[in-house]
Amino acid sequence: MSVLTSPRGKTEVVHCRRTESHDIYCIKNLIRKFTQKLFGRLNVIYLLEKANLAVTLCNDKEEIMAQATFVDYPNWNVARQDNWVPVFRELDSEIPCKPLNTLFMHLFVAVDEYSIGCCKEIIRSVFKAVPELHFLFLIVPSYMSLGSALITVFDHVGNVPSLTFEEDFAVYICHRHSHDPQLHIREARVEDHDDLMPIFMRHDTILKETYGEYFLAELIEAHDEENHAVVCEVEGTAVGFMSVCSRVNMQLLHECFDLRLYHGLCQPHPDDVLEPPQERIAQGSRDTESKSNSHASQKTVEEHQEPVYSDIMEIIQGTLAKDSGSQERLLTIRSECGSTMQAKEELSDISITEELRYDSSSSTFLQEEVGSFRPTYVGAAAAFCIQLFCIDEKHEARSLDFMNFVFSLFPDKNFCIISLPHLTPEFPLIQNFVRMVPFSNCILEQDLYVFHRAGLLKSINIRLASASDTPGVENLINTLLLNKSILKDLNQYNMAHRDPDGTPMKVFVAEVEEQIVGIAVLRNEMDIEYIRSHYNIEDFIYFTHHQREEHGHLYHFALNPAFRHYTKFFMKEILRLGFMSCLYYPIYPHCRHSQFQSPHAQSLTSALHYLVPVRPRRQIVYPLEKLGMNAPSKEVSKDLMCYALNHTNRKLTLEPKVTVNAKIVVVGASSVGISFLETLVFCPHLKFNNLTLISTHGLPGKNLLAAEERRFLASDHSFSDKDYALMSLCSWVNVVVGRMTGIDRAAKHVVVSHGEVVLYDHLVLCTGQQYQVPCPTGADISQHLTNREIPSSGKQRYTDIIPCNHFTLNDEEDCCKALAWIKNHSITTEGNVIVYGNTIDAYTTIEALLILGVSGSQIHLVQPPSSSTVTCINNYSVKITVMDALREAGVTIHQDALLAQWNDGQCPDPIRCASFTTPTKPFRLQCSLFFSFCEKNVDYETFKAFNDACLVYDGRLVIDTNFHTNDIAIRAAGPLTKFSNRYYSNEWTHSRFNSKEIGFHLAAAMLSLFDPTLAPVTEPPADLDRLIPMYKGPKIQGGILPGSYHYLHISKPAIPTPLEVQMTQPDFGLEIVTGTTKAGNYFRIHINKYNMVETITCLSKEPFPASNYIRLFGQHEQALNNLCARYKDQLIPDLYSYFMEPWCMAVFHDRFIDLRKDLRRILTSKEEEDLPSMEQLSRQIEDEEINLHETPRKYLQRVFQETIYKDLVEKSILDYLHYNHYHLPMYAWPGII
């Protein structure tokens, strides 16, 4: 916040922020004729799209006072975008301007009265926002004066000619030292105590309370060869302090952190042990092979700084490198003052070994293979540490100024390290450091950051590659698996500058002191129409303002870790030199190709965290044959391999991300847990470094299920294999494969099977409920007992050995194992299969068995007594059809049967027979395979972990409306939970709602802790904190039922009630039904009393586009082409055909909800001064404030037709159709006919 004073004495409190799209209107209003003469006639939207930095100055009322736009190349075309440096060096050779330290002002507007103060404030803010920036250039026609504002900050340098205009242009410069100068660093003196103590006290009082009032003076006086204290000063006043020490506990760091990236922070030594013995590697390989066959011993703790990535990544080979190569792993610079000459001589020793992380499929093997091995470093410590650091907030952007001086104090040290509590927000100094990967058994509750001496070099230069760079590139990438692919691309570029298929390509290298330290390979993005239609890229750019050739595809990126803080500069230069505005980087699912050298293999960029993940778009399932020539183009509708897309553009190159190091641990890969992680990952301005998922089988979706495997279980349509591929959560989330067995709330860690410990700051429990092994009642059927004669002992847990031919199917892994068992034991030809349960999964499993070839006569459906009056298929017609299909297939159905014994009470493994009791007489069945689908419940080990941790459990884990358990650090969501009894809503649990929506709201509740852009959460009023939240997303159930019927049921969240009871209610609404269940063309829609679609049920012999039908939920029937009126007029014989007609494609479109919101905004806003809004008119009619001589509907229709609202609504709809024409070409709009 700053205060501006106008010449007339008026004041305004102002603050700077990044320019946003909604500022454009105000910016245009501030443009004067003088502005156009200075900067030319500009398209503001286009300029903001191509700008590297745009800053808006607002007052405390959020009114725009000024705006400035900066680009990394000059305006007025005085020099080429990719070659402006020689022009300005020739103008004044004493100005060391270069792309790293220079920006050009392309626009400045301000409120006239405050223009001088606004200009100075914006310039000061820009220099603070970009620490590397030293020069701002302004270029205007030579005959123009700068005006009263700009002349106060810019000085004339000279004139240059234009490449396109005949006149000359004047060049002005603004220097950093005039506004935010570099800090003077010196050794601290005791006299600095009084200047520094207020700064310390503003941040923390613990040091003073612990060590006394004069702790700082004592620390300064205690300096020696190992300990130094330095300060930064401004105008003779100390404004920052740093205490450094060369004594570092290297043993502790080696035990807690993976430091192979920097050779253990030690000097290379001949006795270093950098690789495991060969026999140990061989033994580890055998152990891994045996362990992979044992479910009980599966465990993978994947420790990554930049988390697990997918199959296209580079596998680390540094751990297996030979000793001869290990000596060249690091840059070793010994310089008294960071001499660039010394750096130049030894820069070639830098290696990117271990910089790029490996993928999840490989990590299992490598961690087991060499995970227990830790390198041993014998050499002397090569690091010093920062013990204490503090700086005034006004100058914290210049924190890196300390580093040159402190490195000069330790000429024999190459690394500076600092450890911080992981909840400490990332500050400017740390943003230049590299965060180290902690081992899974790390005992420190802190993060370690490392800075290499070479990072001080400012001579980095990005340029197009040449043939002479090949040896340097080979030396840079020789440890990467895809080095041959990168070299092949480099040679192809040097020969032809394009691919063999004709695609233009570019290769850029990063050079420091004539040594290659980075490489990037790009091609023109040829599938940009596909990207636009399948990903929400327009969340980040105005697509129409970017030419086709400005979109680039990043294939390879490698940068020496010592220069990682230049990653964004590297990408900014790629865009400038390549005449591009956008870069795209895809991540393909690793399961698609087992070999890294696949057609889609690309080297993982270590810059992934500097890109933003792009959300995939929901696609319409088009009836292509019916649409014919009106179908979308093949560029839009083609079926490419799914991939997760990451992106950057010119606007994002100087946009910082907020780093969140809090350890967020999610237990359970349920739909709720995946939705929670998805929401966090796709926050573009946040970077979560410590997301961890604990799951029995890891991330779902890693196995591409075949059709027969997919049929076993019903689906809630939350996530599919395609959705997992489009998210690539493995790129951002560390995965611990195992089962949670304990929670230590005091130590804040989770205990996983086999004793691994996972630390957390926030624990999120989303384990859900699973089918459990049923516990036989033990009844002896020889005594002819009935269900009524069996004593009720409540729900007992099965504790005996689990039979090998007993299966409870809860996830894709269980389905794969069941299928393998069936195929390996000839179940399809002999033996009975018992399916025990009355859930929908029992029906889908029977259909899967029939498809696999199991005879219906071999299958027995045994249904236990139901505890509810509502069946899993709450539709009598559908249920009767399914039961008839079972009988036609020869399946035997036993109803109200309780499991009594396995193998007549003998050893149950394997199950050879099973006996049951019924309300009449018991029966006994031979059994080769037993599927159990009894009621779901919380797994016992999970319950025990909750109970031992003293979490309140009352049938389910108890939470409040903010997802909190009785421990503020532990949240829970999903079917696992129930609301506290104080809400008096025991029937309303998360299991009644859409799991994906629950996960989203769980993430939204937690984001308020980490996202500084969100408003603080306010406590609800006292009378509202006892209300549970009601979510609106539909509950969805689908699958393939016996008879090969494709089934889909969509309904609003509700307490289950029999359909027959619902239909007797006076406010039930209207039921629309076409077809019959027996014919396999049944389609039922329930329209509620508000004329909204509330329930959809489909039963069809043919597959149908379920994702389209899900979009119908919650729509008004008039939005569905007057559905009710057409049905009453008998114009809809078949709803399946009705929803394949071209008119409804817009309803299925993912942005239809945006159109609805825009139309509602129009109708609720007051568009004419002398007329209330349509919403206000409706309320006035309802309150009888208007005397009408016609029906309210006719009155509102007449007002709508006669006022501006009709034109506004039509314009909004036409704009929607025009903007989305690539998805909706079947619609016509004015101008195309």
**Which tens digit of pLDDT belongs to each residue from 970-1013?**
999 999 999 999 988 889 999 999 999 999 999 999 999 998 88
pLDDT at 325 over 70: no
**Distance (Å, rounded) from C-alpha 494 to C-alpha 472?**
15
Cβ-contact 669, 430 below 8 angstroms: no
Please report which helix (H) or strand (E) contains residue 901, including its range: strand 898-902
pLDDT at 337 over 50: no
Tokens of 945: 């972990």
- Looking at residue 279, its pLDDT comes to 54
- Looking at residue 822, its pLDDT comes to 87
pLDDT at 359 over 80: no
- Looking at residue 211, its pLDDT comes to 67
Tokens of 32: 């004067």
**Distance (Å, rounded) from C-alpha 685 to C-alpha 40?**
33
pLDDT tens-digit map of 740-760: 999 999 999 999 988 888 999
Residue type, 1193: R
- Looking at residue 1022, its pLDDT comes to 65
Which residue has tokens 């997303």? 1033
- Looking at residue 639, its pLDDT comes to 86
Half-sphere exposure of residue 105: CA atoms within 13 angstroms, side-chain side: 28
**What are residue 807's phi and psi, to 5 degrees?**
-130, 130
pLDDT at 282 over 90: no
**Distance (Å, rounded) from C-alpha 978 to C-alpha 555?**
48
- Looking at residue 265, its pLDDT comes to 92
Measure the CA angle with vertex 934, ends 930 and 938; round to 5°.
Answer: 115
Instruction: Give me the residues paired with residue 506 across strands.
Output: 522
User: CB neighbours (10 Å) of residue 819?
Assistant: 18
Q: Which of 969, 510, 506 is nearest to 764 (CA)?
A: 969
- Looking at residue 315, its pLDDT comes to 25
Cα four-point dihedral sign 1054, 1056, 1061, 1063: positive
* 1017 — pLDDT class (breaks 50, 70, 90): low
Q: Which of 361-375, 394-408, 752-766 has the lowest mean pLDDT?
A: 361-375
Please compute the mean of the pLDDT values over residues 359-373 and round it to a whole number. Answer: 39
**Distance (Å, rounded) from C-alpha 945 to C-alpha 752?**
10
User: CB neighbours (10 Å) of residue 408?
Assistant: 13
**Distance (Å, rounded) from C-alpha 938 to C-alpha 1093?**
34
For the chain, the average pLDDT equals 86
Name the DSSP letter for residue 64: E
Please compute the mean of the pLDDT values over residues 186-190 and round it to a whole number. Answer: 93
Please compute the mean of the pLDDT values over residues 660-666 and round it to a whole number. Answer: 93
**Distance (Å, rounded) from C-alpha 554 to C-alpha 720?**
27
**Distance (Å, rounded) from C-alpha 826 to C-alpha 831?**
8
pLDDT tens-digit map of 1165-1199: 887 777 888 888 888 888 888 888 888 889 999 98
Q: Which of 279-283, 946-950, 1068-1072 has the lowest mean pLDDT?
A: 279-283
- Looking at residue 605, its pLDDT comes to 64
Tokens of 292: 């992979």
Cβ-contact 973, 963 below 8 angstroms: yes
Tokens of 602: 């690309």
Name the DSSP letter for residue 192: G
- β pairing state of 644-649 and 658-660: unpaired
* 1140 — pLDDT class (breaks 50, 70, 90): very high
* N-terminal to C-terminal alpha carbon distance within the chain: 55
Q: Which of 40-49, 277-286, 602-611, 1073-1082 has the lowest mean pLDDT?
A: 277-286
Cα four-point dihedral sign 235, 236, 237, 240: positive
User: CB neighbours (10 Å) of residue 166?
Assistant: 6
pLDDT tens-digit map of 883-920: 999 999 999 999 999 999 998 888 888 899 999 999 98
Cβ-contact 515, 460 below 8 angstroms: no
Q: Which of 9, 4, 10, 22 is nearest to 110 (CA)?
A: 4
- Could you please report the per-residue DSSP string of 731-754? GT-EEEES-EEEEETTTTEEEEGG
Rg (CA), the chain: 34
Coil, helix or strand for 157?
A: strand
**Distance (Å, rounded) from C-alpha 1116 to C-alpha 1130?**
19
Statement: the pTM of the whole predicted model exceeds 0.85:
yes
Q: Which of 206-215, 282-291, 658-667 has the lowest mean pLDDT?
A: 282-291
User: CB neighbours (10 Å) of residue 362?
Assistant: 21
**Is the pLDDT higher at 375 or at 1107?**
1107
Which residue has tokens 């560029």? 635
Cβ-contact 329, 275 below 8 angstroms: no
pLDDT tens-digit map of 525-584: 999 999 999 999 999 999 999 999 999 999 999 999 889 999 999 999 999 999 999 999
Give the length of the chain.
Answer: 1233
- Looking at residue 551, its pLDDT comes to 97
* 808 — pLDDT class (breaks 50, 70, 90): very high
* 362 — pLDDT class (breaks 50, 70, 90): very low
pLDDT tens-digit map of 121-149: 999 999 999 999 999 999 999 999 998 99
Please report which helix (H) or strand (E) contains residue 1007, including its range: helix 995-1007
pLDDT tens-digit map of 813-845: 898 899 888 888 877 677 899 999 999 999 999
pLDDT tens-digit map of 920-948: 899 999 999 999 998 899 999 999 999 99
* 670 — pLDDT class (breaks 50, 70, 90): very high
**Distance (Å, rounded) from C-alpha 548 to C-alpha 507?**
19
